A and B are shown apart, each in its own frame.
Chain A
């Protein structure tokens, strides 16, 4: 039948040939200029063409009454009657409706306008300004309310992420990662299509007990359009260490400061005779830059190739990525290879099957923390070399000025003598079936099996000075594997202005981790494996299993795209807890009102106005398995006999940490030049999982308990503005700012939880206080008369006696204000973009301020410009006389504001014009990551790890952190 009609149509066309006219013209748009590839079709016929690179077209139509249809993806379709004209130029308008992109919110996808909770989306093009092997670094400063702390420059390390502040004392708070709709999984940053950050319980409630830290949903790429698409991207870069404001003294500076040791505090005179008996002026003949000897300008390069395509039966995306970064600390580095294959088969009209496979392997050459430490302990007056220029051992030398008789370069410069390498390998296989049983009912089964293996190999020879005595070899191998299955029925039904969808399902997950580890000593010359160790061979190995099962459900309804309501309910059971506390329920409700879709609303200026509100619960369980049991550990021995030590006190009542979240928000869009997303939230986390101090006299120092609550409240604003948008010019500005405040409650009167590090620096937690409030002896500056440190004692009086100084609470390292600013300016095919972020208002404990002379000679940290040294009576100083300054004091004088502003990235890129490249795209870019840091912190990087169950927010003066990095990267991106 169809054929007949076609034949008939052809016949008709042929008959009308005599009346044909030719129409020419150009198709443009305000956004893209000349529109290439726009389809131009004569209405009601098969007659059509496509515009050329300059947007021009020529079409011959049946007669002067014909109507032309102009269609291109992302723009509104236009129908124009020919009306006997020979030239028709068309300007296309962006279709806002189509821009209403699909947002993946975990178990389901929703359009932007359907979202009823606080959700932020970051697309691939915004992520990819920074070149890194780990996604976490890419999110820095890009999502309101998400703090990304990048505390190490070691290649291959990942940053820690906190969404909406800190809500726990001891339980981990990293967000839950969901890759392609399934919890967990792996991916390469190059394969990421978009990242959705779920910030409130309206959307995270669906993840129940795993969602206290928020959820990050990663979606990997799929084929777009029917044509085969190739993409090749390569980067090459130069990486430098970035020591922030940590400056070391050179020989001359050290001499000047060292003299202060010989200053008589009473007369103010320096005893140069005594000084020179220890450090004659000749010490300045040597000026060793210890850092310079171990750090370097390193190289980075990465390559990515993908091919994607789609046919009626099949859609695929295959890619391979390779990443190679040398560490700025010599002999460290990271290499990774990742292969992904995403395949969807459209088996029948109602059944699709997806197989996604991701395989990766990486290797990391790590430094020893001690090395970083000893390098900072070296002083400029000591040379690592002897007269012939060979490395000289320091052990036993008495003519050194460095604190330790260890030459860190010995062994370090020889991989045969000292090496630590970790290698890992992982594979994730996703298998998803989507069956459309009826037009409104479908069944979805999402399954993933994962396996990972890792090895760690370490050895050193006996002459490596900076390590413990003797040689050693160590090896560890681990395997983890597990699976997750989610099986859901989904309903989707629209009638009239009503739209309803829902899902109900069951999820189960189980994983197992196991390891074996061995070590030994007594290595023969030139061999470094466990088998050859002749002495002290020791092995360890164990496994752990965790499991969880859940019931999930969700329902959404909207009326006329104006009123939205969404509810979810999840029940989780976890192996972490005792039987009676194993089950927990997580409900959530959220709603939105799109005012701009109301008939009464005049949306000539405000194109989008939406109010949203959500309430719900989430939980946290990840404190490790079986923490409720009384346990005797067999991980030791005595004289080769089995030995059990009491390691854990029972707590049968241990249960979930649960957060009740409330969020109100608004979205405002003003035409296509401004969009604003505002959110205010209040989250209360109850039954905090606290690894609580006990009186040690009872036999145990700590126990896992549920204690008290923390309330986090704050607001977030994200603004996107496009002030300039013309044919050649475009300027975008994104700005995010977030404020978070927390206080504790429910601990009970007089109950204070204290966490201290080994040196007695403490943080306290109690009702009315903030999380991690510093609790330190109160410092009152340097006494101008004597040059001694002064403190405040219990009676509020000044005292010289450190041990009688009172303890006070003094701020917290938790970040209250933070945000990001990024901007992009493009002109024709050039684009200049910059990203920055800031943190303001927290207090860090930083001994690197070097406010005591006693520390200097140990590590040559140069005092800051703001510091002034006390020399003689009457001096107003920040640093006291060394005559009175013992090395180990801990007080409020070391607290520093942790404020900083960092320019994360500047990128300049150029894309070859489409007119030259036809169907291909070629972009060159030059970028600099970690351009500059402006901070109040003197010393190491102000980005300090806020994870871990001990103290957070400390920067030790002589810290052993791997320095952050600055990198300059050239990138080529080619698509065809």
Chain B
């Protein structure tokens, strides 16, 4: 028996020794910072992670990046009817007065963009540490610079006042994070400084994209590219009112030969495969498994499938600008194909929107086009309008119209292309307004409208019924609400048109200033 006992004792002791060995246990699905630097694909992976962050769920799944990117721009504008009161924070995008710094959507968009900026800084630091750069490294550096600039602008246009040459050097911009170790508690820079840094990054990106080479990425519209950097510069110069440069960069993109406008025949199916279409300069590539379902960009504005809420739709003023019910345009303007059949929602007649839908046969899936060629034509038209080049501006607008009108159908109705073309006679107020109207029609629900209004100091007039006003279900909608009705008319410089700096930032970074309206 003693023998058995000693065997058992030996077993027990050896089991101790066996289990006692290692307490350094690394996670199975992550790498540490050091490991990332050492990994041959670490740099690429970090950059891919940036793109992934734009499309992925967050802990608060409704508030993923892409959803906020579009909602903040479109739902705040005069393009969209708010057709159903919701406890989702998007309620406060429509209702400026209820905005506050604790809301999840404003917090989440702020945090995600800074997370992206941090990751770009990590990528840039990784490249800076390398002794010798390959052409691929240089190209990837361009992507990091571009991406950082893009996210900075996403913050700047939402959380700060629009660029005004008179006040830009004193208006508060965003907190600048220059590199990955820059996490000190500090205040926001000015709007001018913020734009300066964005432009600086984009110019570097342009250089790097030209100097570097990475064919697999350059040929994939899901990744940033030289065209994207130049297109982004044309967009940024529009914001900073640097018209000549805006026009020059737009021209670079248009003349590059890389992109072309979709035809009226093809455009209705554009959103189902943006990543394959020539009009796309850069899209947020989503594959079937990335589908956000009832939290997708489409789910709030589309009602054509089960699980789509369809609570928002085209506003009456926007439909009017589109000549929506005019016989001349019916079946001719291919953009009408995105306007869904009207239906009654809470006593409101709602026209949902089918952009951002039906990629890979999935109602809520879309590789959202973040930059497409039509915008670049419109940027140049706007720049030309300011530069006094009326012919150039009208030519660019008509280029778009030529690609959106199905002239064969028009002919069958007895109309010729010239009946659709814009001329000096089309200008009602001024040429800039004409451009903005065309931009509104072309890029509705694509994340532009509120900024176009505010940077042009135009008031937001939402003189249609919806829950942005004091509308009550069942109330008569016969008469348009008056300009003095609650929520209808908002001055362009109303403080709550800016997003609040999230409370989490203010509480944990006391140096950071809040926007005036939320103090």
Interface residues of A (CB under 8 A from B): 261-262, 274-275, 277-279, 347-348, 351, 395-396, 398, 433, 435, 443, 445, 447, 462-463, 465, 467-470, 483, 485, 487, 506, 508-510, 521, 535-538, 542-549, 573-575, 579, 582, 625-626, 629-648, 650, 693-701, 752, 754, 756, 758-760, 762, 802-803, 854, 883, 886-888
Contacts and interface: CB of A to CB of B under 8 A. Distances in A.
Nearest to A466: B307
A887 B89 CA distance: 11
Contact of B45 (A469, A644, A886): A644
Contacts of A634: 29-31, 45
Interface in B352-394: 360-364
Given A536-B289, A547-B23, A645-B53, A693 B504 contact: yes
Nearest to B155: A697
Contacts of B361: 535
A818 B502 CA distance: 38
A752 B509 CA distance: 12
A469 B308 contact: yes
Nearest to A857: B473
B114 interface: yes
Contacts, number: 274
Contacts of B330: none
B19 A395 contact: no
Nearest to B496: A803
A887 B91 contact: yes
Interface string B286-321: 011101011000000001011110000000000000
Given A759-B104, A803-B98, A635 B29 contact: yes
Given A433-B8, A886-B85, 20 more contacts: A277-B474, A469-B293, A469-B308, A485-B15, A487-B12, A535-B360, A545-B25, A626-B25, A629-B27, A630-B33, A631-B32, A632-B49, A638-B222, A642-B44, A697-B512, A701-B504, A756-B102, A758-B62, A886-B91, A887-B91
In the complex, the 7 A-B pairs of residues with the closest C-beta atoms, listed nearest first = A699-B118, A469-B307, A278-B474, A760-B102, A695-B509, A698-B183, A696-B111
A467 B307 contact: yes
Looking at B22, B102, B185, the one whose CB has the most chain A CB atoms below 10 A away is B102
A695 B512 contact: yes
B100 A803 contact: yes
Interface string B149-173: 0000000000000000000000000
Looking at B29, B103, B114, B470, the one whose CB has the most chain A CB atoms below 10 A away is B29
Contacts of A697: 110, 114, 175, 177, 183, 505, 509, 512
B479 interface: no
A699 B87 contact: no
A645 B49 CA distance: 5
B97 interface: yes
Contacts of B460: none
A911 to B, nearest CB: 45
Contacts of A433: 5, 8, 12
A694 B502 CA distance: 12
Contact of A278 (B288, B347, B364, B503): B347
Interface in B37-63: 41-42, 44-46, 48-53, 55-56, 60, 62-63
A699 B119 contact: yes
Nearest to B118: A699
A756 B8 CA distance: 55
26 contacts: A445-B8, A447-B12, A468-B294, A508-B19, A509-B19, A543-B28, A629-B30, A631-B32, A632-B31, A632-B49, A634-B30, A634-B31, A638-B285, A644-B31, A646-B118, A650-B32, A695-B185, A696-B111, A696-B114, A697-B110, A699-B183, A758-B89, A760-B103, A803-B98, A854-B85, A886-B91
Nearest to A543: B28
B425 interface: no
Contact of A700 (B30, B118, B503): B118
Contact of A643 (B19, B25, B45, B507): B45
B59 to A, nearest CB: 9
Looking at B48, B91, B99, the one whose CB has the most chain A CB atoms below 10 A away is B48
A646 to B, nearest CB: 5
B27 A485 contact: no
Contacts of A645: 49-50, 52-53, 56, 115, 119
B363 A469 contact: yes
Contacts of B289: 536-538
A548 B183 CA distance: 35
Contacts of B475: 274
Contacts of B175: 697
Given A632-B33, A696-B505, A758 B364 contact: no
A275 B87 CA distance: 24
A387 B361 CA distance: 34
B29 A485 contact: no
A644 B48 CA distance: 7
B189 to A, nearest CB: 12
Nearest to A801: B97
B48 A698 contact: no
Interface string B173-184: 001010010010
B194 to A, nearest CB: 13
B26 to A, nearest CB: 7
A271 to B, nearest CB: 10
Contacts of A762: 102
A819 B183 CA distance: 49
Contacts of A275: 474
B168 to A, nearest CB: 21
B107 to A, nearest CB: 7
Contact of A636 (B13, B56, B344): B56
Contacts of A463: 306
Contact of B364 (A347, A469, A637, A693): A469
A467 B13 CA distance: 55
Nearest to B43: A644
A636 B364 contact: no
Contact of A759 (B5, B56, B89, B95): B89
A537 B344 CA distance: 36
Contact of B41 (A465, A629, A639, A642): A642
A676 to B, nearest CB: 44
Contact of B303 (A396, A443, A535, A886): A396
A726 to B, nearest CB: 54
B508 A487 contact: no
A344 to B, nearest CB: 15
B24 interface: yes
Nearest to A630: B33
A716 B498 CA distance: 54
B265 interface: no
B469 to A, nearest CB: 12
Contact of A632 (B46, B92, B343): B46
Contacts of B62: 758
A500 B25 CA distance: 41
Contacts of B503: 754, 756
B446 to A, nearest CB: 21
Contact of A695 (B44, B87, B306, B505): B505
Contact of B49 (A630, A638, A650): A638
Interface string B491-511: 000000000001111011100
B95 A886 contact: yes
Contacts of B434: none
Contact of B27 (A631, A636, A758): A631
Given A545-B25, A643-B49, A754-B504, A469 B306 contact: yes
B107 A549 contact: no
A274 B474 CA distance: 7
B408 to A, nearest CB: 33
Contacts of A508: 15-16, 19-20
Nearest to B53: A645
B28 A542 contact: yes
A641 B33 contact: no
Contacts of B133: none
Contact of B48 (A347, A509, A535, A638): A638
